[in-house]
Amino acid sequence: MNQSATAVMDHRHPMPGMQVYNLKLGMWIFLLSEVMFFTSLIGSYIILRFAHPDHWTQPGVVLNVPLTAVNTFLLICSSVTMVKAFACIEQGDQKGLKLWLLGTIMIGATFVGIQAYEYVHLIHEGFVPNFAAYTAEGGNLYGATFYLMTGFHGAHVTIGVLCLIFVLFRAMKGAYTSESYGGVEIIGLYWHFVDLVWIILFTIVYLL
Amino acid sequence: MSAHNNGIWSWITTVDHKRIGVMYFVTALVFFVIAGVEALVIRIQLWRPENDFISAETYSQMFTMHGTTMIFLVAMPMAVAFFNFIVPLQIGARDVAFPRLNALSYWTFLFGGIFLNSSFLFGAAPNTSWVAYANLTSSQFSPGHNVDFWLLGLSILGISSIMGGVNFITTIINLRAPGMKLMRMPLFTWMTLVTSFILVTALPVLAVALILLAFDRFFGANFYQPMAGGDPILWQHLFWIFGHPEVYILILPSFGVISDVIPTFSRKPLFGYPIVVYAGIMIGFLGWGVWSHHMFTTGLGPIADAFFVASTMIIAIPTGVKICNWIATMWGGQIRFTTAMLYCIGLLAIFTLGGLSGIMHASAPIDLQQHDTHFVVAHFHYVVAGGVMMGLFAGLYYWFPKVTGRFMDERLGKINFWTYFVGFNLTFFPMHISGIYGMPRRTWTYAAELNIALPNMLSTIGAFIFALSALILVYTIIKSAISGEPAGPNPWNAATLEWSIPSPPPHYNFAEIPTVRSREPLWREEERREIEAVTLKVPDVEPVMPNSSYMPILLAFGVALTWGLVMTGKWWAPVIGLSYVGVCILMWAFEDPFARKGA
């Protein structure tokens, strides 16, 4: 972060030792909290799965791995477009910023859309969290942990898309410059984090 | 002090960390009284064997709400009250890093507390104890809304705590005055930093535990139901991975308070400052590795038990180091026995006793005997009601002149302290004995053959002395706030930055941000003059502070509303709440905190 940008981001206080502006530091701390959240989800998953392997099936029997692999690829692409958007505004390229932000939003929305389609399909097959209503192969813990983990991740992507729309809206009004791009940078941090979490979740929920 | 009025709306919309701090404290005090009444009801019921003052069901609700309220609505927010008021002043900042978020934390906490307590109106107060062990909490065994109130209320409070943690870490790292290096920060600020890190890392684990429980109850997922392939021990792991760091969230702020108060009233710098800091950080870390000592009776096996016995005993080392440092600080000092100092010494004595009984049941074989008896109740009240609360009250008597510009009444204060000290010990010491005789926790009565009627009667008498002390405290606060003796900027002749500005502080805190050159800036004559030259003057142009805002209270209400609508069981009901929250967030995002009024 360059000095002039921090001056714009926080005009009330001189900078002490750490050369990170408040919003960015706050986002890092928030992501620390998110790490604990997803770690707890994954930890619970591991405990339940090791204790009750009979609830799980071979990968690909119930879940549609190829479809989600495409979805995973899309989400990784959206991290690239996010980086491009950030790189553009660092150079002061307003048009590039808006274009890449729009791209990120569209890919993110597509991801959520495909996930919703997948949910509808799975629920139709009786792959549900409810113990009594579960009729797919395996046991209901499989379904329950699936919706728990992918659901919370999906909610994160949805919130990310909404925030990106807000950032795009501000970008249209010319709120960001090569000197002041805090909003783009911190939503970028969040977006990359959510992306990273998905790579882990995809591996353990779909592939293992 | 233009544009800074005192009407009720100015408090509701405030983003000033000092006012938020005061609101946190007052709210916590109200909940303290409520929790105290619940405790008295419990003690009346246990006055004699096979008493029938209340039913078993009411008893369950009383001890559950007493525990939940004391931890989440009294001890934590009272510490956060001091974080809010004191930390920005100690580091030389004009406010916290995110003032609106700070207000949101407060309102979320308030609505969460109201949400939890509103369960009484529906006759469905939580009744599964503050640890809410699975699978007692399942729909099968707890069909009412009691557990729903508990899990939803706690998740609201968790959101508030995480936001607060993010805010205070950012504040302490980023908003320090020039020269305020990490190793020059007052101990209270240090312990706030450590506590905030525990808050942001421990609360998400509780969130996951609660979410799994919510899945069980609302979607029939049965994560914790053994008959459906789930695992009740999973709840205990998740809960205590949160729950043990939580006890350090409770005690570390009090350790911070007394590390500032003891040097002031001993006229000596804190003995071994770096060691006290490192010990605090160490406790914060080690606190993550001891959770299963709450679970020795679940049969984890000898290897896990041995590990957790060892780690639990190790954590006594940094704690013991701190206690030795405080005593060494007093050694040879010119001690002034103010009420604040008495509470500090009270903490040292009582917390050490609680720590010793803690080391007793750190040992698994002994714990197997003591588990779920009143011995454990005695232990954790010695560390929480004796340790945590005494530290917070020391802070109250110490910082009250800064907050209000008036002293607390010292004569009433001493009466308050001694009734507290006597009432406390009379209440909880006999529980060691009744516990060893086998009196179970969380059971509404006991048999006459157990021969524990006497310790129970003593406990009940003690509880009423304790309650009297609380009433004296409330009276003292009100009386002193109205007609206490006026106090100057630095009435105790203390060393840290918050005492360099007027009492009560102006809304911008520091007319000019001072430069700090040492750990005890106000105790070095030259530095004190230099600092006070900029902090005590009236600025020509008032520093620009963020505008007040309605958004925090509106948004916080939306969160509580959404959570409440979840309980209707209709899928579309929370969607209404969420839409309202969405609108609030949007308005929040478009609000410019520094917009000039009328421009």
In a domain, B438, yes or no: yes
Q: Which of B343, B326, B330, B338 is nearest to B394 (CA)?
A: B343
Length of chain A: 208
Alpha-helical regions (H) of B484-539: 525-535
The partner residue sitting opposite B201, judged by closest CB among A10, A32, A139, is A32
Q: Measuring CA to CA, how many Å separate B36 from each of A5, B294, B414?
A: 51, 25, 21
Cβ-in-10-Å burial (0-12, 13-18, 19+) of B453 comes to: middle
Residue holding tokens 């230099």? B530
Contact A65, A206 (CB under 8 A): yes
A119 touches chain B (CB under 8 A): no
pLDDT in tens, B453-462: 999 999 999 9
| Helices B410-436, B453-483: inter-axial angle, 10-degree rounding | 160
* For residue B6, pLDDT beyond 60: yes
**Structurally, how many domains does chain B consist of?**
1
Establish whether B499 is a catalytic residue: no
Contact B57, B144 (CB under 8 A): no
* For residue B258, pLDDT beyond 50: yes
CA atoms lying within 13 Å on the CB side of residue B224? 29
Contact B490, B466 (CB under 8 A): no
* For residue A16, pLDDT beyond 80: no
Contact B544 A52 (CB under 8 A): no
Q: What is the CA radius of gyration of chain A?
A: 20
Contact B113, B67 (CB under 8 A): no
Restricting to B residues 63-102, those with a Cβ less than 8 Å away from any Cβ of A are 93-95, 97-98
Chain A nearest-CA distance from B163, in A, is 8
Alpha-helical regions (H) of B287-331: 302-314, 316-330
Establish whether B95 is a catalytic residue: yes
SS3 state at B243: helix
3-state secondary structure B363-374: CHHHHHHHCCEH
pLDDT in tens, B278-325: 999 999 999 999 999 999 999 899 999 999 999 999 999 999 999 999
DSSP type of residue B386: I
Out of B217, B237, B294, B519, which one is annotated catalytic?
A: B294
Out of B60, B160, B192, B427, which one is annotated catalytic?
A: B160
Quote the longest CA-to-CA distance of chain B: 78
A155 touches chain B (CB under 8 A): no
B208 touches chain A (CB under 8 A): yes
pLDDT reported for residue A17:
52
CA atoms lying within 13 Å on the CB side of residue A192? 14
pLDDT in tens, A155-165: 999 999 999 99
pLDDT reported for residue A44:
95
Separation CA B494–CA B500 (nearest Å): 9
Q: Rounded mean pLDDT of B104-131?
A: 96
pLDDT reported for residue A14:
47
pTM of the predicted protein model: 0.95
Separation CA B542–CA B507 (nearest Å): 10
How many CB atoms are located within 10 Å of the residue B80 CB? 29
Domain that holds residue B404: 334-498
DSSP type of residue A19: -
Residue holding tokens 């799965």? A49
Restricting to B residues 504-523, those with a Cβ less than 8 Å away from any Cβ of A are 513
pLDDT in tens, A24-52: 999 999 999 999 999 999 999 999 999 88
For chain B, what percent of residues have pLDDT higher than 90?
Answer: 90
* For residue B542, pLDDT beyond 90: no
- Please name the residues in contact with B225: beta carbons below 8 A apart, sequence gap of 6 or more: A131, B134, B135, B138, B140, B216, B232
Size of interface A-B (CB pairs under 8 A): 131
In a domain, B194, yes or no: no
pLDDT in tens, B333-369: 999 999 999 999 999 999 999 999 999 989 999 999 9
Q: Say which amino acid occupies A203.
A: T
A16 touches chain B (CB under 8 A): yes
Separation CA B43–CA B37 (nearest Å): 10
Q: Measuring CA to CA, how many Å separate B347 from each of B144, B324, B382, B416, B421?
A: 40, 13, 9, 15, 10
Tokens of B540: 């020509």
Contact B208 A37 (CB under 8 A): yes
Q: Which of B92, B96, B192 is nearest to B521 (CA)?
A: B92
Q: Residue A39 CA to chain centroid, in angstroms?
A: 15
Out of B14, B18, B43, B95, which one is annotated catalytic?
A: B95
In a domain, B193, yes or no: no
Establish whether B248 is a catalytic residue: yes
Contact A40 B204 (CB under 8 A): yes
Which architecture does CATH list for A4-207?
Up-down Bundle (1.20)
Chain B nearest-CA distance from A6, in A, is 11
Separation CA B155–CA B430 (nearest Å): 35
pLDDT reported for residue B543:
87
* For residue B577, pLDDT beyond 70: yes
SS3 state at A61: coil
Residue of chain A minimizing CA distance to B101: A26
Look up the CATH number of the domain holding residue B359.
1.20.210.10
Tokens of A196: 């990273």
pLDDT reported for residue B595:
81
Cis peptide before B135 (omega within 30 of 0): yes
Contact B166 A141 (CB under 8 A): no
Chain A nearest-CA distance from B486, in A, is 32
Angle at CA of residue B289, ends B288 and B291, nearest 5°: 85
pLDDT reported for residue A8:
35
| Helices B389-404, B232-266: inter-axial angle, 10-degree rounding | 50
Q: Measuring CA to CA, how many Å separate B188 from each of B89, B197, B256, B528?
A: 11, 14, 4, 20
Angle at CA of residue B379, ends B378 and B380, nearest 5°: 100
* For residue A7, pLDDT beyond 50: no
pLDDT reported for residue A6:
37
Q: Residue B24 CA to chain centroid, in angstroms?
A: 11
Cis peptide before B504 (omega within 30 of 0): yes
The partner residue sitting opposite B220, judged by closest CB among A13, A41, A130, is A130
Contact B428, B378 (CB under 8 A): yes
Q: Measuring CA to CA, how many Å separate B159 from each of A16, B292, B560?
A: 29, 25, 11
Q: Write out chain B residues lying below 8 Å of A13, CB-based.
A: 93-94, 174-175, 513
* Cross-strand pairs, B373: B440
Residue of chain B minimizing CA distance to A134: B221
Given pLDDT bands bounded at 50, 70 and 90, which one contains residue B571?
confident
Tokens of A167: 């950032």
Q: Which of A143, A185, A135 is nearest to A164 (CA)?
A: A185
Q: Measuring CA to CA, how many Å separate A56 from each of A39, B225, B226?
A: 20, 17, 17
Q: Which of B2-16, B19-33, B93-107, B198-212 has the lowest mean pLDDT?
A: B2-16
Alpha-helical regions (H) of chain A: 3-9, 22-51, 65-90, 94-124, 140-172, 182-201
Residue of chain A minimizing CA distance to B224: A48
SS3 state at B373: strand
The per-type count for chain B, helices as H runs and strands as E runs, is: 20, 0
Contact B219 A130 (CB under 8 A): yes
Q: Write out chain B residues lying below 8 Å of A16, CB-based.
A: 173-178, 180
pLDDT reported for residue B374:
96
Separation CA B470–CA B466 (nearest Å): 6
pLDDT reported for residue B569:
82
The partner residue sitting opposite A22, judged by closest CB among B170, B209, B543, is B170
* For residue B548, pLDDT beyond 60: yes
* For residue B1, pLDDT beyond 50: no
Separation CA B455–CA B464 (nearest Å): 15
pLDDT reported for residue B228:
78
Q: Rounded mean pLDDT of B126-154?
A: 93
pLDDT reported for residue A152:
97
pLDDT reported for residue B599:
43
Given pLDDT bands bounded at 50, 70 and 90, which one contains residue B510?
very high
Out of B18, B66, B237, B519, which one is annotated catalytic?
A: B66
- DSSP per residue over B334-383, as a string? -----HHHHHHHHHHHHHHHHHHHHHHHHSHHHHHHHTTBHHHHHHHHII
Given pLDDT bands bounded at 50, 70 and 90, which one contains residue B422?
very high
Q: Measuring CA to CA, how many Å separate B37 from each of B70, B143, B390?
A: 12, 27, 19
